[in-house]
Amino acid sequence: MSGYRISPHTAWIEASEHDGPDHVVWAAHLGSGAQFEFTDTGWLIWMLLSDGIGDARALATELARIHAELGAEASRSPFDESTVSAFLADLLADGLVVIDV
């Protein structure tokens, strides 16, 4: 598997661009109408996906780097590759992302 990308059947906005709170994404699956809100790390993963980073390992590495920049030890980041993979699998099951081959 090459990675993931946001599905063309997903509409989303970053809340802060529309006078909403910071670090929040609102997303909806256009087929089912299901709505989602991603905050904090979910928001960050979504924004990285929107920037074209769709590989679980690359996402986990970037999360660890950001975590370290914020003053915590990267090795203590709770966002390892398996956690990110599980989150991506949930997004795939909800139809919000597709496998990018």
What is the per-residue pLDDT across 40-59, written as a single tens digit (0 to 9) for each?
889 999 999 999 999 999 99
At 72, the pLDDT band (50, 70, 90 cuts) reads low
SS3 94: coil
Give the C-alpha separation, 22 to 56, whole Å: 24
Give the closest residue to 26 by CA, choosing from 17, 15, 10: 15
What's the CA gap between 12 and 34, in Å, rounded? 12
CA gap 10, 83 in Å, rounded: 23
Q: Alpha helices of the chain — where are they, by DSSP H?
A: 40-50, 56-69, 81-93
In this prediction, residue 74 has a pLDDT band, given cuts at 50, 70 and 90, of: very low
Q: Measure the CA–CA gap between 45 and 88, rounded to whole angstroms.
A: 9
The model carries a pTM of 0.87
Number of domains observed in the structure of the chain? 1
What CATH number has the domain bearing residue 28?
3.90.930
Q: What range does the domain containing 29 cover?
A: 4-99
